[in-house]
Amino acid sequence: MNNPGIQKSPTATGLSALRWPSPWIAAATVTALLVMTPILSVLGYLFHPGSGTWQHLADTVLGDYIRNSLLLMAGVAIGAGSIGITTAWLTSMYHFPGRRFFIWALLLPLAFPAYILAYTYTGMLEPAGPVQSWIRSAFELGYGEYWFPEIRSIGGAMVMLSLVLYPYVYLLARAAFLEQSVCALEVSRTLGCGPWRSFFSIALPLARPAIVVGLSLALMETLADFGTVDYFGISTFTTGIFRTWYGLYDEVAAAQLAALLMLFVFSLILLERWSRRQARFHHTTNRYQALPEQRLGRFNAWLAITACLLPLLFGFLLPVAQLILWAIQTWEQMVDASFYTLAANSFTLAGIAAVAALFTALLLGYGRRLQPTRWLRGLVQIAGMGYAIPGMVIAIGVLIPFGWLDNALDSWMRNQFGISIGLLFSGTLFILLFAYLVRFLTVSLQTVEAGLGKIKPSMDEAAWSMGRSKLDTVRRVHLPLMRGSLLTALLIVFVDVLKELPATLVLRPFNFNTLAVRTYELASDERLADASSAALTIVLVGIIPVILLSMTIAHSRPGHAKPA
């Protein structure tokens, strides 16, 4: 034969280093460390000698913070747990009219930030609101002549949080139920256990690790909540931090409260990690089999429909209807040039944060893929923890180091050049964006890593062996394969930033407002109806990732009918 034509002959100068440049790894390391700074600087205050304020707090309100936080967690665990498990079980095991609709619709309350739900219900249930007005006119009663539950209470907060957080439990419990071997359940039936006993003695214990994961996610959100408890006047850690910072101007005490709250969060993280490990052992089979959905009789079917409809109704349909009603009544006054400015501010901020988070996630994800050392793996894991940390804590954790940096820079400039540059970072959009990055990097990191995981290392090597450069490989193989994941990462961070309240409230520049903060301000002034346009915008945009999520689930569940 002839000598095969060599496409690109290796040249003497072609003898170059094969490995990706290590500046890449250095950049990933620096980024990971930067993202960790707020968490570390707050944790550092655990070892800080307490100020006088701290002693005062410890003597007076700290007990309340701890008790209320624990009570709230208990209430949400029971509320979100029972709703989530019941709806997950019904939709995965039984066949009843509307089941396919409920499978995805039950996720809709995720679109509601808890504080918006709280404002909406307060407006609906207050004495002058539609519900009490109707009661008075229907029963010809005067105000105060009948008993009516007070929504602005810790019980009310439990209900609000449970209604928006149960989808976490629902999602994970449903996935666990679907993964269970049908055989295990059938064996239990042949051994003489009825459906109820099979559920409690087989299905529930097998799904327990997944349920605990869902619950710990819901409880992390509960600890992070600021808007609801602030509006309901419940003293918890987040409101306490806010008050100590802005009321007492004591940054040490605020940071110490934040550090204490972090300890609560960390125990939840440990619980979650541990449960995820357990879940692997509880995985009974890799064979997916369509669950034989049992048809329910007429009466039971109605029960099941009711059980699925109630959380959807109270967690989404009713409050959305109320918001729409209010928006129709008030939009003429509320939707004006300043509203568009608000929306533009929010969307710009969310857009920039989403892009920044995506690029950071790509940097870390690629760093970890190219150099899977223990060091980088650990760093990336810690950098991806932000989502568990309450926005209020991150706000404090961002303010403290940047405040220190600002002061140091300023005094250095004054000493060296005799000019004062003022505070460079504090009170700028930059530190707000940085806080968003710290908090929401988790989301984009997970999505990017999932996307990268789908690209086998051999695909890179195949591309290289066919004469493609590394950049070319990224452009022609990675990008097309990851496009979906990248868009998802952008979208989810975008919506999360749009909904974020406490960090925005604390870190926003003077005179800079967003939809979330404006909603909070109007609600605080008891202008609940006026807040509806901004609130409705947030909720409607929030529906997009929920739809995406339900589509992902529909496609990722092997051996099971796709929900319509």
Partner 1 sequence: MQNQLEVTDLSIQLGGKTIVHGVSLALQSGELACLVGPSGCGKTTLLRTIAGFEQPATGVVRLHGKKVAEAYNSAPPENRGIGMVFQDLALFPHLTVAGNIAFGMHGQPRTAINRRIDELLELVGMSTLRDCYPHQLSGGQQQRIALIRAMAPRPALLLLDEPFSSQDMERREQLVQEVRTILNKDGITAMLVTHDQHEAFAFADSIGVMNEGQLLQWDSAFDLYHRPRSRFVAGFIGQGVLINAQVLDKQTLQTELGEIYGELSQQLPPGSKVELLIRPDDIIHDDQSPIYARVAARLFRGASHLYTLELNNGTRVLCLAPSHHNHQTGEQIGIRLSLAHLVIFPC
Q: Interface residues with partner 1 (CB under 8 A)?
A: 1-12, 14-16, 18, 456, 458-459, 461-470, 476-477, 480-481
Cβ nearer to partner 1, comparing 149 with 480 = 480
In this structure, the number of other CB atoms found within 10 A of the CB of residue 450 comes to 14
Question: Least distance (Å) from partner 1 to the CB of residue 22?
Answer: 15
Phi/psi at 294 (5° precision)? -85, 135
**The 3-state secondary structure of 478-507, one letter per residue:** HHHHHHHHHHHHHHHHHHHHHHCCHHHHHH
Cβ nearer to partner 1, comparing 18 with 128 = 18
Cβ nearer to partner 1, comparing 282 with 468 = 468
Which of 215, 213, 106 shows the shortest CA–CA distance to 550?
106
Question: Least distance (Å) from partner 1 to the CB of residue 482?
Answer: 10
Cβ nearer to partner 1, comparing 12 with 138 = 12
Question: Least distance (Å) from partner 1 to the CB of residue 466?
Answer: 3
Question: Least distance (Å) from partner 1 to the CB of residue 352?
Answer: 29
Instruction: Give the DSSP letter of residue 444.
Output: H
Which of 399, 349, 359 shows the shortest CA–CA distance to 500?
349
Question: Least distance (Å) from partner 1 to the CB of residue 460?
Answer: 9
Q: Tell me the two tokens of residue 355.
A: 């892009």
Q: Tell me the two tokens of residue 281.
A: 């052992």
Cβ nearer to partner 1, comparing 7 with 60 = 7
Residues 169, 214 contacting (CB under 8 angstroms): yes
What span, in angstroms and rounded, lies between the C-alpha atoms of 279 and 267?
18
Cβ nearer to partner 1, comparing 16 with 416 = 16
Question: Least distance (Å) from partner 1 to the CB of residue 488?
Answer: 17
Which of 424, 419, 421 shows the shortest CA–CA distance to 402?
424
Question: Least distance (Å) from partner 1 to the CB of residue 447?
Answer: 18
Question: Least distance (Å) from partner 1 to the CB of residue 11?
Answer: 7
Question: Least distance (Å) from partner 1 to the CB of residue 123?
Answer: 49
Q: Nearest-5° angle of CA 71, CA 74, CA 80?
A: 130
Cβ nearer to partner 1, comparing 137 with 286 = 286
**The 3-state secondary structure of 182-198, one letter per residue:** HHHHHHHHHCCCCHHHH
Cβ nearer to partner 1, comparing 9 with 511 = 9
Cβ nearer to partner 1, comparing 225 with 460 = 460
What span, in angstroms and rounded, lies between the C-alpha atoms of 540 and 538?
6
Q: Nearest-5° angle of CA 493, CA 497, CA 225?
A: 115
**The 3-state secondary structure of 500-534, one letter per residue:** CCHHHHHHCCCCCCCHHHHHHHHHHCCCCCCCHHH
According to DSSP, the β-strands at 294-295 and 94-95 are parallel
